[in-house]
Chains A and B, each alone.
Chain A
Amino acid sequence: MTTAINLIQALLLILGAPLVGGIIGKIKAWMQRRQGASIWRPYFEIAKLFRKGDLVPPSASWVFHFAPKVLFGTSVCAVAFVPVLQPSALLAFRGDFFLFVYLLALGRFFLSLGALDGGSAFGGMGASRDALVSTLAEAPFLLGLAAVSILAVHADIAGMVTWTLQQDVLKISAVHILAFTSLAMVVLAETGRMPVDNPTTHLELTMIHEGMVLEYSGPSLALVEWASAIKLHVMLALLISLFGPWGMASTVSLWGLGTAVLLYLAKVAVLAILLALVESVVAKLRMYLVPDFLGVAAAVSALAVIFTTLVKR
């Protein structure tokens, strides 16, 4: 039964991912006083792309075909580690948060390779920028997760969530606030959201992620788009399960699961609104200020690790 629920929550993360992007787009449209596209639009778009043919640049090698599949595969694997409805996950073992971070990094690496292999100037530019951002985001990502893991004395994400569930909501420690701040900044950088990268732009000077996927079309593009949607969803789910898991079903029952699903949807909606709000009011950083942004995230996460020594057990 537990395994079945684990499977359901992984499927929820994968299949619900485009919806999160659609909701964010809708809220942003409302804020700009537009009507906006339907929240189901990302699904139609992915379905449409799957029906189209794959256009491949003549200079591209097998890496170009291979990269989107690796990206999608690693994103789906990463989903298996994140608890959503109950404090357990499909895969959990000691130190799995390292694997989680590096699965996402592997996907990014292959996407960069594919972009370089496409042979266009924008692909190379996007890939080099993405390499910079992801290298700088790696340290705060790992340190932020490590701080929570030290606090929880568990080295797997599911264990950390189990520990957090037993804590008092009112007893927020400095470590949690610092780790949350740094991980929230990392989420913005890793998923290519506003202060770091504008997900809606095709302006050559500023694009990072869009520059990399410019040469892709058809089913490959569908895989890339879906994988980045999954990445956004899984990062939001990670934030929720690490810093606000209260409401998860601790025992398997229909009532508990129902409330868990509803609460999870509410939390994702809150995060989506926050993200849309940030994207509507914050201007994109100049490329040269992105290292500063991530430097602050790294400093905050290092502080979080140092602060774990202060917390009384």
Chain B
Amino acid sequence: MGLVAIATGKFLSSFSVFLFLTVLLMVVARRISTSVLLFSLQSAIITAEVFATGVRERLPAAYVVGALVLLIKVIAIPLVFFRLVDGLKTPRDVKASTTPTQSVFIAGAMIYLSYAAVHSFGQTVHVPEDALAAAVALILTGSFLMVSRKKALMQMLGLLVLENGIFLAALLTTFGMPLVIEIGIFFDILVGLLLMGIFTFRIRDTFDHLDVTKLRRLRG
């Protein structure tokens, strides 16, 4: 058992590094479908982290949460997104307002910032520093995605990335919230996604595009 615990501990801190990679790729992705696939991959990594925490801390509830993450974030949400992209019949590019190189530098600065923010905290509390920095970086890049992408769909995706970050931070610092609250949060996400999906259809029907920078006037 000791060996398993050590292995999962190492896994926790090592695999969070791959989260940085998904974040960087997501920021340069040119198509909505690529970003959605990357989000799915990111959630899969987080699922693995949930299971690893469950093994290490011997929390059976973590398995339920992990299964929920797998079901909702890795499978359900990307499928919903693909159906939205199909149904909206909108051009497939994300319409970024920054060039890919600028985006990588901004995302890199955010990753650096998250390490700086976490550094003092990581010494007082026994938490893998890389993983906590990854959580903060997810929150920051999620909001960056929301700000810098013009398509309404990408703002939904940015919000989901942000939520992934918050979820990971909660998992690392408190070993997960109580099961009832987790289920509540997942339900929240699903309902929010549903509402936002309906809204994007309404935006498309009223304005004939999904570009939020052009939403300046009220229309009946």
Binding site for B on A (CB under 8 A): 168, 170-174, 177-178, 181, 292, 295-296, 298-300, 302-303, 306-307, 310
B100/A296 in contact, CB under 8 A: yes
Give chain B residues whose Cβ lies under 8 Å from the Cβ of A298. 101
A310 to B28 CA separation, bound complex (whole angstroms): 24
Q: What 1/0 flags go to B98-111 for Cβ under 8 Å of A?
A: 01110011001001
B18 within 8 A of A: yes
Interface of A is mostly: helix
Partner of B100, one of A174, A292, A302, A310: A292
Give chain A residues whose Cβ lies under 8 Å from the Cβ of B112. 306-307, 310
Given the known interface contacts A177-B20, A181-B21, the answer about A296 and B130 at a Cβ–Cβ threshold of 8 Å is no
A296/B14 in contact, CB under 8 A: no
B130/A174 in contact, CB under 8 A: yes
Interface of B is mostly: helix
B69 within 8 A of A: no
Closest residue to A294 on the B side, CB-wise?
B101
B104/A303 in contact, CB under 8 A: yes
A299/B101 in contact, CB under 8 A: yes
A171/B20 in contact, CB under 8 A: no
Q: What 1/0 flags go to B79-108 for Cβ under 8 Å of A?
A: 000000000000000000001110011001
Give chain B residues whose Cβ lies under 8 Å from the Cβ of A296. 28, 100-101, 104
| 8 Å CB interface, B1-24 against A | 7, 10-11, 13-14, 17-18, 20-21, 24
A177/B104 in contact, CB under 8 A: no
B99/A292 in contact, CB under 8 A: yes
B115 within 8 A of A: yes
Give chain B residues whose Cβ lies under 8 Å from the Cβ of A295. 99-101, 104
Give chain B residues whose Cβ lies under 8 Å from the Cβ of A300. 24, 104, 108
Q: Can you list 27 A-B pairs with a CB-CB distance of less than 8 A?
A: A168-B10, A170-B7, A170-B10, A170-B11, A171-B13, A172-B17, A174-B20, A177-B21, A178-B24, A181-B24, A292-B99, A292-B101, A295-B100, A295-B104, A296-B28, A296-B100, A296-B104, A298-B101, A299-B104, A299-B108, A300-B104, A302-B105, A303-B104, A306-B112, A307-B112, A310-B112, A310-B115
Partner of B111, one of A172, A292, A303: A303
Q: What 1/0 flags go to B119-146 for Cβ under 8 Å of A?
A: 0000000000010000000000000000
B18/A299 in contact, CB under 8 A: no
A178 to B23 CA separation, bound complex (whole angstroms): 12
Given the known interface contacts A171-B10, A295-B101, the answer about A306 and B17 at a Cβ–Cβ threshold of 8 Å is no
Give chain A residues whose Cβ lies under 8 Å from the Cβ of B115. 310
Give chain A residues whose Cβ lies under 8 Å from the Cβ of B24. 178, 181, 300
A173 to B100 CA separation, bound complex (whole angstroms): 24
In this complex, which of B11, B20, B101 has the most chain A Cβ atoms within 10 angstroms of its Cβ? B101
Closest residue to B130 on the A side, CB-wise?
A174
Chain A proximity of B101: nearest CB distance (Å): 4
Closest residue to A293 on the B side, CB-wise?
B100
Give chain A residues whose Cβ lies under 8 Å from the Cβ of B18. 177
Give chain B residues whose Cβ lies under 8 Å from the Cβ of A310. 112, 115
A303 to B7 CA separation, bound complex (whole angstroms): 28
Partner of A172, one of B14, B28, B100, B108: B14
A217 to B24 CA separation, bound complex (whole angstroms): 44
A292 to B98 CA separation, bound complex (whole angstroms): 12
Give chain A residues whose Cβ lies under 8 Å from the Cβ of B11. 170
A173/B17 in contact, CB under 8 A: yes
